Each structure stands twice: as C-alpha cells, then as structure tokens.
C-alpha cells in the first residue's frame, strides 16, 4: 500500500546523524540535490549521498541487496516491487506528482504541436525503455491518443532522453515537465492534453535494511515537510 502525503514536522531532535544514502529517480536530480543541501543544513550531523538513475534500475539493485537508506521512485509500480520483496520499512508515501511533456529543440523548429505528430516516421523520436517509468507513461500516452509510433531509440532514463534532444541527436522525446523546466533555454516543451496525459506519482520509503534508519526517516519526513514541498514546487513538481 502507498499512502498520500502527510504533513511532517522536522527538528534536530530526531536522532539523525551520519550518512544517508538515497536512491532516487533520475527526474529528481535537480530538486533532490537542493533538497539534500537544505536537509544537511538543518541536520548538521547528517550527510546525504544520492544515486540517481531509472527507478527500475534502482529497485533491482535494492532487491539484490545494494546498501541504501531511502528509495524515491518515479512511479508506483517500481515501489510495489520493493514492497512485494518486503525490502521497505513502513508504508511508502506519495510525495509529489509530475506530468509528461514533449521535449523539442528551442523554438520548436519542426512545429511539433502534439502527440499525433510523433507518428511521423521522418521524425527522430526517443523515449525511455518500457521498464523505465517515463517509458511506461509514454506508452500509455500513445495508447490514449490512439497513435502508433516507432521510436528511434529507447533510453535508460529520462535524463538520457532529454540529453538526446538538447544535443540535437533527436527531434523530440517524451520527458517530464520538470525536465523541461530544468533544461532552461536548451529545450522547449510541447504540452500534452490532460485527457491524454498520465499523472506520475512519486512515492518514497525507508528501506528494510537501511544502515541509517533514523537518518533515513528524518530525510523522508523532510521531503514531505513544508520546506521539502516548497523546494519540489520550485522545480515544477506538484503536491499529491
């Protein structure tokens, strides 16, 4: 089971110390980096180390025994893999939502207006691999739009998709709206209508074998706190 966001209070009396290792979805890179800095400012005895990658890759590592304290996924499915393996502690909490967008070159030189344009075989299109959350969402969007697309490449993470577009190696890619925000002037985003789009729900949990359980719980509490939510909102995430 995954529960909704519950407001949490953060203080220096949680017994948090040492290092907290956080496995987090690649789309959280910018937001969690700032959030980790803010957390370490509040908990002066705690250092946060991040490993950012596709949620599917991270959960596989965790189930195989990789040492980490916290897992933050870009979807519910990969969090379910963690809970099904009884590799979590407590109920995961959804702490943020996101939406997909079509990433294009600055100025949208090819005039891409929506999902149906991606069915053009002359277009170089990249998406995430099917097992990666952004790939699953892309497939659902194509199904909702009733279009058949033939991606030119399937990438290992949403950051790889965005990189292909910003480097000019692809004409378009399905990424998160937050990735377009993070790209700044290097990419533009084409909105996907709400009736076609899929809300990405981001859950977080302490791992069952967390080497630093106290620090891990303090970090989770910080993510769902008002301060954590404000930081996430600054990068385009919405509260659940």
pLDDT band with cut points at 50, 70 and 90 for residue 15: low
Look up residue 11 and give its two tokens: 């203080």
pLDDT band with cut points at 50, 70 and 90 for residue 3: low
Q: Distance between CA atoms of 176 and 57, rounded to whole angstroms?
A: 18
Look up residue 65 and give its two tokens: 């025994």
* Three-class DSSP category at 105: coil
pLDDT score for 2? 62
Domain covering 100-191, topology: D-Maltodextrin-Binding Protein; domain 2 (3.40.190)
Domain-wise residue ranges, the chain:
18-97+201-234, 100-191
CATH architecture under which domain 18-97+201-234 falls: 3-Layer(aba) Sandwich (3.40)
Q: Would you mind telling me the total number of residues written for the chain in this entry?
A: 240
pLDDT score for 136? 96
pLDDT band with cut points at 50, 70 and 90 for residue 16: confident
Ranges 1-5, 111-115, 228-232: which has the least confidence: 1-5
Mean pLDDT of 34-62: 95
- Concatenating the DSSP letter of every residue in 135-171 gives HHHHHHHHHHHT-----SEEESSHHHHHHHHHTTS-S
> Could you read off the pLDDT of 20-36 as tens digits, one per residue?
999 999 999 999 999 99
Please state, in angstroms and as integers, the Cα–Cα distance from residue 130 to each residue in 24, 134, 155, 157, 234, following that order: 18, 8, 9, 10, 29
pLDDT score for 9? 43
Element spanning 176, H or E: strand 172-176
* Three-class DSSP category at 15: coil
pLDDT band with cut points at 50, 70 and 90 for residue 10: very low
pLDDT score for 180? 96
Which DSSP category does 131 fall into?
T
> Could you read off the pLDDT of 159-180 as tens digits, one per residue?
999 999 999 999 999 999 999 9
SS (H, E, C) 52-73: EECHHHHHHHHHCCCCCCEEEC
Phi, psi (degrees; rounded to nearest 5) at 87? -105, 20
Same fold, 18-97+201-234 and 100-191: yes
């Amino acid at each position: 089971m995954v529960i909704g966001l519950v407001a949490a209070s953060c203080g220096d009396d949680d017994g948090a110390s040492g290092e907290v290792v956080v496995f987090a979805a690649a789309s959280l890179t910018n937001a969690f980096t700032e959030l980790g800095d803010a957390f370490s400012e509040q908990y002066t005895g705690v250092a946060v180390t991040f490993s950012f990658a596709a949620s599917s890759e991270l959960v596989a590592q965790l189930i195989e025994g990789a040492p980490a304290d916290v897992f933050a996924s870009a979807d519910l499915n990969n969090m379910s893999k963690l809970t099904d393996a009884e590799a979590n502690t407590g109920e995961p909490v959804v702490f943020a939502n996101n939406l997909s967008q079509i990433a294009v070159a600055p100025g949208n030189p090819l005039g891409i207006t929506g999902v149906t344009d991606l069915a053009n075989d002359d277009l170089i299109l990249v998406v995430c691999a099917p097992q990666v959350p952004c790939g699953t969402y892309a497939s659902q969007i194509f199904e909702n739009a009733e279009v058949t697309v033939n991606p030119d490449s399937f990438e290992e993470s949403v950051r790889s998709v965005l990189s292909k577009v910003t480097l000019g190696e692809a004409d378009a890619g399905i990424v998160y709206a937050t990735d377009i925000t993070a790209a700044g002037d290097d990419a533009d985003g084409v909105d996907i209508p709400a009736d076609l789009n899929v809300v990405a729900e981001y859950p977080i949990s302490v791992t069952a074998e967390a080497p630093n359980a106290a620090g891990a719980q303090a970090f989770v509490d910080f993510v769902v706190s008002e301060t954590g939510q404000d930081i996430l909102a600054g990068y385009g995430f919405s509260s659940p």
